[in-house]
Amino acid sequence: MAKLAPELQADLSDMTTSAETGAMLLDAEDGDALARNLAIPTLAGRLERPGRFAAIPLSSNHFGTAADCLAQAVYYEAALEPALGQRAVAQVVLNRVRHPAYPNTVCGVVYQGWNQKVCQFSFTCDGALMRKPQADLWRSAKAIARDALSGREVAEVGTATHYHADYVVPYWAFKLGKIATIGRHIFYRFPGSPGRAASFYGNWAGREIKPQVDFARFIETDGEEPIELVAEAVYTPGLTVEPDVRDRHAAADVGGRIDTTKAWRLTIPDPVEASAGYRNTLSSQGALVAAAPGSSEQPQ
């Protein structure tokens, strides 16, 4: 692999998918951003492909971990994009896994910079993970992730390692090679030899580790008042305490809460109204026990 230019190498950490306005974006109005992005020429010539990615055995425990990380990238970055656009995002992740400029694990690529001020995929460090996924979109994202890990390619984006939304203009868009626009995302590859298929030779590391994100880090301060980014409220009727995204329990387990929808109440029998066996026991001990109300039994 031809080495990245020093300036490009230094910029890698800032070349993120973030759509936030700020120092990393050029000044542009929303409408103007579309025009400026259209003005960036698309690379001419044949689009190279890095080949199928099928390095993680389906039977491996690491396949499930990798699929979960990849599904998160698909969901939080492109859940409302067309299916092709979602698959393209998955391919960008897997392209990075094989490129020497990035970590050589799926979770490592997805969560790169998650515990720093700047992360490569914005959802890992902007609080998006605290939003509970919509069930149908999450199922779709997981299916796309499994397909990608099983070798499904997206020829339209080839060796793309970057993308951004078309309503922003990141400064790095002019430093890379524009490949294609799918949905609201524009995809790019490294210029020159680093963006050629021959440079995607890295091997998968052999294991996957998903970071445990500390949601407390998403607490921001506005003056002296803390503002916490919390999950979208999902009201579940009958629970005395609403579920929280940080709860650690199975979906069918209310975690020790009393579920009043089951129409039961805790009752403790009155000893005076206890069973005949209980009264007989007391009687044998010399106690005078009255019969329960409505009973035909007589006191012993």
Alpha helices of the chain — where are they, by DSSP H? 6-11, 30-39, 61-78, 83-97, 106-110, 135-149, 276-284
Q: Are 30 and 167 in contact (CB under 8 A)?
A: yes
**Closest by Cα among 159, 160, 147, 154 to 63:** 147
**Closest by Cα among 195, 262, 181 to 45:** 195
Residue 273's pLDDT is: 60
pLDDT over 60 at 145, yes or no: yes
Strands (E), the chain: 162-165, 177-182, 185-189, 219-222, 225-228
pLDDT in tens, 261-285: 555 555 655 655 656 666 677 666 6
Residue 288's pLDDT is: 59
Mean pLDDT of 155-166: 95
pLDDT in tens, 237-257: 444 455 555 555 555 554 454
**Closest by Cα among 31, 52, 12 to 176:** 12
Mean pLDDT of 38-42: 92
Domain 6-222 matching CATH 1.20.1250.20: the answer reads no
> Mean pLDDT across the chain, nearest whole number?
79
> Tokens 């929303």 map to which residue?
30
Residue 189's pLDDT is: 96
List, in sequence order, every residue forming a beta bridge with 163; answer none if it has no partner: 187
Strand 185-189 versus strand 219-222 pairing type: unpaired
Q: Which sequence spans correspond to the domains of the chain?
A: 6-222
The most confident of 203-207, 217-221, 248-252, by mean pLDDT: 203-207
pLDDT over 70 at 66, yes or no: yes
pLDDT in tens, 123-135: 998 888 888 899 9
Radius of gyration of the chain (CA): 29
